[in-house]
């Protein structure tokens, strides 16, 4: 069991004990249990899966950021972290469509921005359909 | 003296009263906004604390500082840009002017090493344009509460300007809420950063490498720094506005009191005068009988 904290600029989204977390760094998928060696990771825009104390699994859509595991505390600092029920599916769909149209006719500089946008929308949509167990 | 003056006083009271309603409403609006901003800042401190400590740990475990050395304090800067943050709206006492004055003082103190101003807020923009200062860029109309995304893009913009190489120091002058009654002005150096090379006691795993981590965390770190600065200056502005409006309301109240006293005195004077006139004339009529 270790302490898991998810902090965004707006608020502390989550602060509780967890058995296991699975996340995706910019290099690939990773997971951690308790008492791991300290690490720093750079998170991708992806889903985050948490197994709680009672074995119940919950999901978050995490929009980049970093994570630090130290002293049996896992701290995730991200621009945004959303639960499936917080996600506005219609809005995500609209934003995805718009970004896909825009990306066709945009120059190189703004492309990255739109790619991020698409990724965010995709993660949101993916998370919103997940069933929590 | 005629009844005209009495009427005029009455009108004046009405006008002061409506002004008072307005200032009181503005005070309440400022109070409501302040509560929101303060809550925001409280929540945000947690984030900034964690992020700063992570940033320190990552930057101190970088072995090869070559990639990042441009961002690190090495010598006394020779081309400094001053970022001035004021509000877009007035009616907040001397808040905006104090900041502009502080910026001018700083410009004088820097002397030849001063390069240009970067202005946020239309109040400073107007004033500095009028004074003929060198403005590199200006951002206005950020009325509502600052959003994190805005702060992020602003800090990215500042980083871009810094990396162009024309300037080697960015200072930010902004209001700081010392307490709800006292607003001070702080001057902090945004770039370059000072890093203490401390010995690391815990050995961390990095995924990806520390250098890449630094590249990723850097915009986030500066964005959060910017967000804190914007929040603090907004809180300071709303504090100043709340105080100014409270004073204005109180002054209006006093003015109304004075005017009503004057009005009542005058009314009493006319009544007494009329009574005297009536009794005098009735006395006079008695004599004629």
Are B165 and B36 found together in one domain? Answer: yes
Compute the distance between CA of residue B86 and CA of residue B97 in angstroms, rounded to an integer.
9
Are A33 and A8 found together in one domain? Answer: yes
CA A124 to chain B, closest CA, distance in angstroms equals 18
Are A40 and A102 found together in one domain? Answer: no
Are B163 and B53 found together in one domain? Answer: yes
Are A106 and A48 found together in one domain? Answer: no
Are A28 and A12 found together in one domain? Answer: yes
Model pLDDT, residue B200: 60
Are B132 and B9 found together in one domain? Answer: no
Model pLDDT, residue B166: 85
Model pLDDT, residue B149: 83
CA A128 to chain B, closest CA, distance in angstroms equals 23
CATH of the domain at B264: 1.10.287
Chain B residue closest in CA terms to A25 = B207
Are A20 and A79 found together in one domain? Answer: yes
pLDDT tens digits, A96-108: 888 888 888 777 7
Are B73 and B172 found together in one domain? Answer: yes
Are A59 and A123 found together in one domain? Answer: no
Q: What angle do CA A61, A71, A54 make, to 5 degrees?
A: 55
User: Does residue B17 sit within a domain?
Assistant: yes
**Domain around B38:** 31-244
pLDDT for residue B132 is more than 80: yes
Are B127 and B203 found together in one domain? Answer: yes
User: Inter-chain contact B202–A70, Cβ cutoff 8 Å?
Assistant: yes
Compute the distance between CA of residue B2 and CA of residue B223 in angstroms, rounded to an integer.
67
Model pLDDT, residue B204: 83
Are B81 and B175 found together in one domain? Answer: yes
Are A61 and A20 found together in one domain? Answer: yes
Are A11 and A76 found together in one domain? Answer: yes
* Most confident option among A37-46, B89-98, B243-252: B243-252
Which residues in chain B have Cβ-Cβ distances shorter than 8 Å to A5?
Answer: 50
CATH of the domain at A71: 2.60.15.10
User: Inter-chain contact B46–A25, Cβ cutoff 8 Å?
Assistant: no
Are B184 and B231 found together in one domain? Answer: yes
pLDDT for residue B120 is more than 80: yes
Is B91 in CB contact (< 8 Å) with chain A?
Answer: no
The contacts of residue B184 (CB under 8 Å, 6+ apart) are B175, B176, B178
Residue in A9, A12, A26 nearest the CB of B208: A26
Are A66 and A6 found together in one domain? Answer: yes
User: Does residue B60 sit within a domain?
Assistant: yes
User: Does residue B126 sit within a domain?
Assistant: yes
Percent of chain B with pLDDT over 70: 93
- ipTM, interface predicted TM-score of the complex: 0.82
Region B35-40: mean pLDDT is: 91
User: Does residue A133 sit within a domain?
Assistant: no
User: Does residue B286 sit within a domain?
Assistant: no
Are B111 and B197 found together in one domain? Answer: yes
pLDDT for residue B129 is more than 70: yes
User: Inter-chain contact B44–A9, Cβ cutoff 8 Å?
Assistant: yes
Compute the distance between CA of residue B27 and CA of residue B246 in angstroms, rounded to an integer.
6
Mean pLDDT of chain B: 87
pLDDT for residue B103 is more than 60: yes
**Domain around A53:** 2-84
User: Inter-chain contact B47–A65, Cβ cutoff 8 Å?
Assistant: no
Across B140-228, the runs of DSSP E, i.e. the strands, are 169-177, 183-191, 205-207
User: Does residue B52 sit within a domain?
Assistant: yes
Region B24-47: mean pLDDT is: 92
For chains A and B, what is the number of CB pairs under 8 angstroms?
76
Are B256 and B177 found together in one domain? Answer: no
User: Does residue B178 sit within a domain?
Assistant: yes
DSSP line for A82-107: E-GGG--HHHHHHHHHHHHHHGGG--
pLDDT tens digits, B58-100: 877 776 666 666 777 777 888 899 999 998 888 888 899 999 9
Is A26 in CB contact (< 8 Å) with chain B?
Answer: yes
Are A79 and A22 found together in one domain? Answer: yes
DSSP line for B27-80: HHHHHHHHHHHHHHHHHHHHHHHHHHHHHHHHHHT-S-GGGTGGGB--S--SSE
User: Inter-chain contact A77–B213, Cβ cutoff 8 Å?
Assistant: no
pLDDT tens digits, B82-93: 999 998 888 888
What's the half-sphere exposure (Cβ side, CA atoms, 13 Å) at B136?
17
Are A17 and A58 found together in one domain? Answer: yes
Choose the mutation target among B207, B210, B226 for the interface with A, i.e. most A CBs under 10 Å.
B207
Q: End-to-end distance of chain B based on CA atoms, in angstroms?
A: 34
Q: B131: helix, coil or strand?
A: helix
Are A27 and A70 found together in one domain? Answer: yes
Which residues in chain A have Cβ-Cβ distances shorter than 8 Å to B217?
Answer: 42, 66
Are B63 and B186 found together in one domain? Answer: yes
Model pLDDT, residue B229: 93
Which residues in chain B have Cβ-Cβ distances shorter than 8 Å to A41?
Answer: 206-207
User: Does residue A102 sit within a domain?
Assistant: yes
Number of folded domains in chain B?
2
Model pLDDT, residue B73: 78
Model pLDDT, residue A133: 61
Are B238 and B253 found together in one domain? Answer: no
The more confident residue out of A5 and B1 is A5
The contacts of residue A84 (CB under 8 Å, 6+ apart) are A59, A61, A127, A128, A129, A130, A132
pLDDT tens digits, A60-110: 999 888 999 988 999 999 988 988 888 888 888 888 888 888 888 777 777
Token digits for B283? 């006395």
Is A77 in CB contact (< 8 Å) with chain B?
Answer: yes
pLDDT for residue B37 is more than 60: yes
Number of folded domains in chain A?
2
């Amino acid at each position: 069991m270790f302490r898991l904290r998810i902090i965004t600029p707006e608020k502390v989204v989550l602060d509780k004990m967890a058995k296991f977390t699975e996340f995706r760094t910019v290099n690939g998928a990773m997971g951690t249990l308790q008492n791991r060696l300290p690490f720093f990771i750079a998170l991708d825009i992806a889903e985050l899966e948490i197994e709680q104390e009672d074995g119940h699994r919950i999901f978050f859509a995490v929009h980049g950021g970093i994570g630090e595991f130290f002293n049996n505390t896992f701290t995730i600092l991200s621009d945004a972290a959303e639960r499936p029920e917080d996600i506005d599916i219609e809005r995500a769909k609209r934003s995805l469509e718009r970004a896909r149209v825009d990306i066709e006719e945009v120059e190189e500089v703004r492309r990255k921005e739109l790619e991020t946008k698409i990724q965010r929308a995709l993660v949101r949509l993916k998370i919103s359909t997940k069933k929590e167990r | 003296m005629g009844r005209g003056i009495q009427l005029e006083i009455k009108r004046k009271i009405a006008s002061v009263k409506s002004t008072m309603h307005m200032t009181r409403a503005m005070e309440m609006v400022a109070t409501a906004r302040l509560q929101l901003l303060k809550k925001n800042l409280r929540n945000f401190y947690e984030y900034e604390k964690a992020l700063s400590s992570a940033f320190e740990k990552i930057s101190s475990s970088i072995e090869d500082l070559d990639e990042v050395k441009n961002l690190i304090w090495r010598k006394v800067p020779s081309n400094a840009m001053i970022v001035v943050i004021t509000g877009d709206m007035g009616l907040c006492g001397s808040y905006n002017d104090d900041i502009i004055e502080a910026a001018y003082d700083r410009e004088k103190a820097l002397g030849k090493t001063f390069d240009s101003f970067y202005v946020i807020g239309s109040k400073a923009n107007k004033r500095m344009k009028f004074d003929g200062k060198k403005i590199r860029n200006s951002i206005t109309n950020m009325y509502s509460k600052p959003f994190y995304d805005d702060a992020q893009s602003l800090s990215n913009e500042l980083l871009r300007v810094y990396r162009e190489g024309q300037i080697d120091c960015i200072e930010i002058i902004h209001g700081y809420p010392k307490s709800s009654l006292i607003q001070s002005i702080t001057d902090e150096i945004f770039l370059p950063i000072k890093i203490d090379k401390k010995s690391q006691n815990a050995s961390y795993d990095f995924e990806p490498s520390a250098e890449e981590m630094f590249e990723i965390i850097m915009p986030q770190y500066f964005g959060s720094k910017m967000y804190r600065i914007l929040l603090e200056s907004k809180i300071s502005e709303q504090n100043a506005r709340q105080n100014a409006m409270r004073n204005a309301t109180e002054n209006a109240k006093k003015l109304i009191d004075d005017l009503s006293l004057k009005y009542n005195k005058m009314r009493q004077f006319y009544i007494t005068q009329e009574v005297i006139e009536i009794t005098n004339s009735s006395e006079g009529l008695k004599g004629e009988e």
